Amino acid sequence: MSEDRFGLAGRTALITGAGGGLGREHALLFGSHGANVVVNDLGGSRDGSGSGSEMADKVVAEIKAAGGNAVANYGSVSETESAQAMVQTALDAFGSIDIVVNNAGILRDKSFKNMTEQDWDLVIAVHLKGAFNVTKAAWEPMREAKYGRVVLTSSASGLYGNFGQTNYGAAKAALCGLGQALAEEGAKNNIHTNIIAPLALSRMTEDIMPPEMQDLIKPEYVSPLVVYLCAESCEDNGQIYEVGAGCYARVETLRAKGFAVKPDGPISVDTIADNWKAINDPTGGEIIHSPMESTMASLKHAS
C-alpha cells in the first residue's frame, strides 16, 4: 500500500468497465492507495455483446492479493437499475460512495453512410447514458456527504472528430458538456467533476495501434492522473485533460479575437465574407471558461 498522501484511504471508488485496460489499471491504483474499490464490468466484447463475471472477479482478486479491499459488480451501465445497483453495492460493502470513474465503453465504428441506428444508439447508451446513469445514482449520496469526485472519460475523437466514429465522437464530445455542467452544479457540495481524453492501449485500440506505439501508450500511464483528480486535496473542477504516453495536458477552449461589428443595423453576407480571415485568425484569442464569459465576449464591442 502507498502512503496516504492523497486522502484516498477508506474512500470508496466505483470504476466502470474495470475488468481490463484502462479501468483495470485505475482500479488497481486506487486499491494500492487504500481506497475501497467496486470493480464493475459487464464482461462483454468491445462491441457490447455478451457478458460474464470472470473479468471483474480477476481484478478484485488482484486488488485483494495486494492487500486492498474490493468487490465485483457485473451490471450494465446502460441500464438505470443496474447503475443504481452498482452504487448500492458500494454502500452495502463499504458504507459510502466517494468516487465514480466512468470508464465503460464500446465501439461500433463505421462510416456515417454505413452506420445503423442500432450502432448509434448502443454507443450513446453505454458512453453517454451510462455515465449519466452511474453518476446520477451516486449524486445524492455524494450531496448528502458533501463530498464526491467524478471522472468522465472522453476522447480525442470527441474533442477533434475522427473518421468512422460519428457515434463515438458524438458521445465523447457530449461527455465534456455533461462534465462541465456537473462541475458547476456539484461545486457547492464539494463534488468535483473532471474529464479525461486518454490515449491508451486497450481492447478497443489494440488492433488499430501500430506495434511500435503500443509500449508507449500503456494504460498505466493514464491512471495516475485519474487518481490525482480524485484526491481529497485536488481542487480542480470542470477541467479537460488529454493524457497518454507520459504526456499530461489541460485542454481549453480558445476563442479567436475575431471580427465584430455593432449590431445596430443589417449585417450582410458580404461583410462576413470580406472579414473571414479575421474571424478565423486565432492571434490574440482568449480562453473561455463559461457561457457567461462567452456571452460577455460577444457583447463587449456592442456598447
Under the banding of pLDDT at 50, 70 and 90, the label for residue 236 is very high
16 secondary structure, DSSP code: T
**What's the pLDDT at 213?**
72
Q: How far is CA 82 from the centre of its chain?
A: 19
pLDDT at 186: 98
| Residue 88 confidence (pLDDT) above 90 | yes
Per-residue model confidence as pLDDT tens digits over 149-202: 999 999 999 999 999 999 999 999 999 999 999 999 999 999 999 999 999 876
Q: What is the pLDDT of residue 49?
A: 64
CB neighbours of residue 266 within 10 Å: 6
CB 204 within 8 A of CB 107: yes
Q: Report residue 131 as a C-alpha cell.
A: 455515465
Which residues have CB under 8 Å from 17's CB, separation 6+? 23, 40, 41, 42, 77, 103, 104, 105
What integer pLDDT is reported at residue 212 of this predicted model? 66
d(CA 113, CA 157): 18
Q: Name which of 124, 175, 125 is nearest 150 in CA terms.
A: 175
pLDDT tens digits for range 242-281: 999 999 999 999 999 999 999 999 999 999 999 999 999 9
How far is Cα 56 from Cα 60, in angstroms, rounded to an integer?
6
Which residues are designated catalytic? 168
On whether the pTM is more than 0.85, the answer is: yes
Q: pLDDT (tens digit, 9 = 90+) per residue, 3-14?
A: 689 999 999 999
Contact 24, 218 (CB under 8 A): no
pLDDT over 90, % of the chain: 87
pLDDT of residue 4: 83
Mean pLDDT, rounded, for 45-61: 83
The DSSP element (H or E) to which 29 belongs, if any, is helix 21-32
Question: Domain coordinates of the chain in residue numbers?
Answer: 12-251, 253-299
pLDDT of residue 288: 93
pLDDT at 204: 57
More confident of the two residues 141 and 47: 141
The string of pLDDT tens digits covering residues 13-23 is 999 999 999 99
Contact 38, 73 (CB under 8 A): yes
- The answer for residues whose C-beta is within 8 angstroms of residue 57's C-beta and 6 or more apart is 72
3-state secondary structure of 238: coil
Confidence band (pLDDT; 50, 70, 90) for 51? confident
**Whether pLDDT at 214 is above 90:** no
Are residues 209 and 201 in contact, defined by beta-carbon separation less than 8 angstroms?
Answer: yes
First to last CA, the chain: 60
**Cβ proximity of 41 and 76 under 8 Å:** no
In this prediction, residue 275 carries a pLDDT of: 98
* pLDDT-derived band at 84, boundaries 50, 70, 90: very high
CA distance 79 to 216: 35
Domain 12-251 falls in which CATH fold? Answer: Rossmann fold (3.40.50)
Distance CA 184, CA 192 (A): 9
What average pLDDT does the chain have?
94
Extract the C-alpha cell encoding 40.
464493475
Cα Rg, the chain, nearest whole Å: 21
Nearest-angstrom CA–CA distance, 193 and 150 = 5
**pLDDT band per the 50, 70, 90 thresholds, residue 44:** confident
Give the pLDDT of residue 300. 86
The predicted pLDDT at position 208 comes to 59
More confident of the two residues 262 and 46: 262
Q: Which residues pair with 172 in a beta bridge?
A: none
pLDDT at 206 > cutoff 60: no
